[in-house]
């Protein structure tokens, strides 16, 4: 299932994008499951408050981008297309906290919407397929694709999550609970703030600590001790 949300106060534009998306998706995926939702900005709180999955988002930036920062923080891995006025300077929307993947410039026609969306969706779908065996970190300096096999653990601290490899660590925004539900089976939760790669668990040092390969030490909380013992 692929989920796309359009947040646009222009009803005609919203409908046009919907038609173009349907056309693109059919050409790209055939009859594969796909869900499209078009909403106005006044309804965005319902999206942020709910548990809706958003893989792709088309966002109309007219009227301000304050809401977009909250949306991006809530869905750091979604592919984002911005609908902008031709008169807008790129410095207004090419910001670290937003990081759009594509831009659709007004006036929007079916032709330019279709071409932009086709590129946006093609690249996004391909990226998701390639990332089945890797984790994408969307950090301040750009996106990094890191194979799961190189990840030792994830740690939640200072309102961010940090991914640890031999080469170093990468920080990104999110919650450890959301991450726990997204990772493949090679990872296991061992603490409220830690998720480890099972293949790197070397030994249990004591009831509250485990050692990973290359000397990494991570804590084990009481609620996860039995899970770790059974590995």
Averaged pLDDT of the chain: 86
Q: DSSP 3-state helix, strand, coil percentages of the chain (rounded to 5)?
A: 40, 35, 30
pLDDT in tens, 82-98: 999 999 888 888 887 88
d(C-alpha 12, C-alpha 172), whole Å: 36
pLDDT(131) > 60: no
Cβ neighbours, 10 Å, residue 26? 12
Q: What is the pLDDT of residues 32-80, one digit of tens each?
A: 677 888 888 888 777 766 667 788 999 999 877 888 888 887 787 789 9
pLDDT at 144: 81
Long-range CB contact pairs, 8-14, < 8 A, 24+: 8/38, 8/40, 8/58, 8/59, 8/60, 8/83, 9/40, 9/41, 9/60, 9/62, 9/63, 10/60, 13/60, 13/83, 13/108, 14/38
- CA–CA separation, 201 and 198 (whole Å): 5
The pLDDT tens digits of the residues spanning 136-161 come to 887 666 678 888 888 999 999 998 99
The pLDDT score that the predictor gives to residue 129 is 64
pLDDT of residue 77: 77
Q: Output the pLDDT for position 37.
A: 86
pLDDT (average), residues 210-230: 90
- 99 contacts: CB under 8 Å, gap ≥ 6: 72, 80, 138
Distance separating alpha carbons of residues 42 and 154, to the nearest angstrom: 35
With cut-offs at 50, 70 and 90, classify the pLDDT of residue 31.
low
Q: How many residues does the chain have?
A: 231
Ordered structural domains, the chain, with CATH: 2-132 (3.40.50.2300), 151-229 (2.40.50.1020)
pTM over 0.75: no
Q: What is the pLDDT of residue 97?
A: 80
């Amino acid at each position: 299932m692929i989920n796309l949300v359009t947040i646009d106060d222009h009803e005609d534009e919203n409908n046009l994008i919907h038609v173009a998306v349907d056309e693109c998706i059919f050409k790209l995926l055939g009859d594969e499951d796909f869900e499209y939702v078009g909403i106005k900005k006044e309804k965005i709180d319902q999206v942020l408050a709910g548990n809706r999955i958003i893989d792709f988002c088309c966002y109309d930036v007219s009227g301000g981008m304050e809401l977009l920062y909250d949306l991006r923080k809530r869905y750091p891995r979604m592919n984002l297309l911005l609908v902008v006025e031709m008169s807008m300077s790129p410095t207004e929307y090419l910001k670290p906290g937003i990081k759009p993947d594509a831009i659709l410039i007004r006036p929007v026609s079916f032709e330019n919407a279709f071409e932009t969306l086709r590129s946006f969706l093609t690249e996004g779908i391909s990226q998701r397929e390639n990332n089945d065996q890797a984790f994408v970190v969307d950090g301040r300096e750009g996106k990094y694709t890191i194979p799961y096999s190189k990840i030792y653990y994830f740690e939640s601290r200072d309102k961010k999550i940090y991914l640890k490899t031999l080469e170093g660590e990468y920080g990104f925004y999110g919650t450890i609970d959301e991450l726990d539900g997204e990772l493949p089976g090679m990872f296991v939760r061992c603490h409220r703030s830690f998720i480890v790669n099972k293949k790197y668990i070397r030994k249990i040092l004591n009831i509250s600590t485990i050692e990973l390969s290359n000397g990494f030490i991570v804590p084990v909380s009481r609620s996860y001790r039995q899970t770790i013992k059974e590995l």
